[in-house]
Structure 1
């Protein structure tokens, strides 16, 4: 019987001391037999490295890399995957938890697909800081049909990032994550989906932790680099679109981002989204109005506040 393909789990840690043992235990509990486990610590300032050293002593099969100085998630991951040897790569944040069959299920699914498939993603359970069940990813987001998901990733969010298992060739083709960006997911999806097919595994494989102060809660805070990175990814996407439905999908995304950027006072980013919208589609009257309001610094952000108070009222 031939050996199963090597899977590299890149365990990314930055100040995850509280969750690190549960995360590493979940990696070590995988039923899949052929794993390469690489822990990358991005110079944590809490007690994370002490926990890591404890595990390195107990489990000599683990491989450890320190980034030397804090470099951010995208650069830390690139260091890890470039040091790896696996046919498949799993990007694992060490505040999340893998279910025991996770890798085995996804590798088996990959083996039922052709080489054109570069990414498998799945369902996930969202948990709180205290590991309390919140909801399932599938209860909020509908997966795209298997195959070419480029149009889907332009238009909407539907992939739970930590559930992805990725063929090594995808990272080799992309050159890894774009280290100039503040986050990696959207850019990875856009660039990889243009070339590789995606498949969905309708099983919960991962417990994803939602922190009280998550990235998304500050997404539209003024001056946030997350929004600036979204602008850059949309600009990249505009160079990749080839069909009318792709153009319409990107236009839909740009309208959404322009609205929210304007209503949260991110005038520079709103301008860039609106300029890009003009390039890819005919600009509707509403967005020409938003452009004018933004130009003259007329603030209607209170409308967004009122809307969210109404929508999420108790």
Structure 2
């Protein structure tokens, strides 16, 4: 029996791109459930979504529309609780899945029952869909030029960003077992990767299977600016990671992350957060 896959498409003011994102789900070579969630958009996203659903009455599409903005983490969890799918993809409404993303992911996860996340290579595109670069540099055959770490990735995730989060496919049972996304955080990927990789391996499929859109107004471009809550969330995640480390190598990896984030806090004049990162760093150094 084929594994069931649900793709949760989260939309907030993505009227320009949400139709393309949903279309990329319907274009998969492996049929999936599409759960599209609008988190109280103030543009024309809701109309775009409703019209798209009407135009595809035969497709397996479910929808959720929130009257108040509750944030990505809560919106995702609400959708997650509505499906009994075996595997889950979190698709931002401005990103695009290439046609074999689901089939490649299910093929990998079906034969690796201990794996929590399957991830892939990705292309970065601009607001017009034009190619910028690939996440991992590729050769003429489209294969990554570098060796991509898989298996136990916890230590590496602590110290650096190397997995393109929109490419991830989750094993739903593992994701639900840890309670889904942490709703107290402003963003989800760093935290969820750490929590899942602490107990389970990750697997890599060496193909470009997702297009990640880079926008000037995206969260990642503003994460260190004053008033943005992402850096505060990163501090919370580092504090959680402090309780998870189990070796001297992991301790050093966490310290590298803390030093990096402390520098960013200082550069962007987030001095209270800078002090908090320094205090956490000292606590980590003193841990036996």
The answer to whether the superposition gives a TM-score over 0.5 is yes
Q: Tell me, yes or no, if structure 1 residue 220 matches structure 2 residue 251.
A: no
> Secondary structure of the equivalent of 1:37?
strand
* Runs (5+) with no aligned partner, structure 1: 284-314
For residues 201 and 225 of structure 2, the distance between their equivalents in structure 1, rounded to whole angstroms, comes to: 34
- 1:295 — aligned with what? none
How many residue pairs end up in the alignment? 279
- 2:30 — aligned with what? 32
Cα distance, 1:10 vs structure 2? 0.5
Q: Tell me, yes or no, if structure 1 residue 173 matches structure 2 residue 177.
A: yes
RMSD: 1.6
For residues 77 and 17 of structure 1, the distance between their equivalents in structure 2, rounded to whole angstroms, comes to: 19
For residues 266 and 53 of structure 1, the distance between their equivalents in structure 2, rounded to whole angstroms, comes to: 42
1:1-314 → structure 2 map (5 Å cutoff): 3-33=1-31, 35-60=32-57, 61-113=60-112, 115-139=113-137, 144-281=148-285
> Secondary structure of the equivalent of 1:39?
strand
> Secondary structure of the equivalent of 1:240?
coil
What TM-score, normalized by structure 1, do the two folds share? 0.85
* Runs (5+) with no aligned partner, structure 2: 139-143
- The higher radius of gyration belongs to 1
Cα distance, 1:256 vs structure 2? 0.9
What TM-score, normalized by structure 2, do the two folds share? 0.93
For residues 147 and 69 of structure 2, the distance between their equivalents in structure 1, rounded to whole angstroms, comes to: 35
Of stretches 167-176 and 269-278 in structure 1, the one that deviates more from structure 2 is: 167-176
Contact 1:38 1:80 in 2 (8 A): yes
Residues 198/277 of structure 1: CA separation in 2 closer, same or farther (3 Å cut): same
- 1:287 — aligned with what? none
For residues 80 and 65 of structure 2, the distance between their equivalents in structure 1, rounded to whole angstroms, comes to: 13
For residues 265 and 18 of structure 2, the distance between their equivalents in structure 1, rounded to whole angstroms, comes to: 35
1:111-160: CA deviation from partner (whole Å, max 9, x where unpaired) = 232x2111000000000001110000002996652211110110100011
Cα distance, 1:91 vs structure 2? 0.4
Contact 1:124 1:136 in 2 (8 A): yes
Contact 1:148 1:196 in 2 (8 A): yes
Tell me which protein shows more helix as a share of its residues.
1
Contact 1:153 1:189 in 2 (8 A): yes
For residues 144 and 231 of structure 1, the distance between their equivalents in structure 2, rounded to whole angstroms, comes to: 27
> Secondary structure of the equivalent of 2:176?
helix
Contact 1:148 1:197 in 2 (8 A): yes
1:197-224: CA deviation from partner (whole Å, max 9, x where unpaired) = 1011110000100002222222221232
Residues 22/87 of structure 1: CA separation in 2 closer, same or farther (3 Å cut): same
Contact 1:11 1:40 in 2 (8 A): yes
For residues 92 and 126 of structure 2, the distance between their equivalents in structure 1, rounded to whole angstroms, comes to: 15
Contact 1:144 1:152 in 2 (8 A): no
- 1:312 — aligned with what? none
Of stretches 202-211 and 54-63 in structure 1, the one that deviates more from structure 2 is: 54-63
Higher relative contact order at CA 8 Å, sep ≥6: structure 1 or structure 2?
2
